[in-house]
Structure 1
Amino acid sequence: MPDLTQERAGVPVLVCDPDGPPVATEQDVLDLIGATYFGAEVVAVPVSRLPERFFTLSTRFAGEVMQKFANYRLRLAVVGDISRHLAASSALRALVHESNRGEQVWFVPDLDSLDARLRGAA
């Protein structure tokens, strides 16, 4: 399945294909942002598309990705199981906790959970 914009809980969401290309560089992030041109407000990126360095906060890659989305006034949802990363990093646990309290970046286990968050944010 290619990356597709879908209406989810009344919000246009670019749902990225889990088997699509990795989101490993700044250009990859900008390409995803560009794909929202047709109206998506949220980009749902599966964990499988993110490199390990995204979850290693000392690389600053996660911060760069989140900042790009904020700059373009788009919301980012990281979708999938990140429990192994959370177990390895208290800093990542804190980031996920704080992000999930806000409206800009969410870490959710699946698309159903994203739908629930979107319904709550509306």
Structure 2
Amino acid sequence: MVKTTQYNGLTLIEFDSQGPRLGTERDASDVLSEAFAVDASVVVIPVDRLDPQFFELRSGLAGGFFQKLQNYDCRLVIVGDISAEVTASKSLHDFVYETNRRGHHLFVPDRQTMLDRL
């Protein structure tokens, strides 16, 4: 299930925490299709929906997923606690830090933090 909301002049498509795991470029294409259907420019995915391999950067899932959305000028916001994954991986820590520093895509711990950053 997804819901569409408006915030700060942006249309957000927010995916529910229940549903199939996401992570592949094919999944990113499906997500983009849903975003385009409602003219959303921001895709919000709870961390619970992501394939656990997504956070193992060697798998290439995160890079491919982010790149697919980037190619279509769609922002991606990952919402949820990934502190354990970030602590366990310097490369993931650096990826999250750099992603949030640039600000186009975001990793945030909760919805309110997301709204504050948008």
Q: Same fold (TM over 0.5)?
A: yes
Letter aligned with residue 19 of structure 1: Q
1:104 maps to: 104
1:51 has 2:65 as partner: no
User: Gaps (5+ residues) in structure 2?
Assistant: none
SS in 2 for 1:20: coil
SS state at 1:39 partner: coil
**CA-to-partner distance for each residue in 1:73-110, whole Å, 9 max, x for gaps?**
00000100001101110110000000001132100011
Q: CA RMSD in A?
A: 1.1
Residue aligning to 1:64: 64
Moved over 4 A (4+): none
Unaligned stretches of 5+ residues in structure 1 = none
Equivalenced residue count is: 117
Structure 1 Cα separation of the partners of residues 8 and 79 of structure 2: 16
Q: Which residue of 1 aligns with 2:87?
A: 87
Contact 2:23–2:62 (8 Å) recurs in 1: no
- Corresponding residue of 1:32: 31
SS of aligned partner of 1:6: strand
User: Residues of 2 paired with 1:44 and 1:5: CA distance?
Assistant: 10
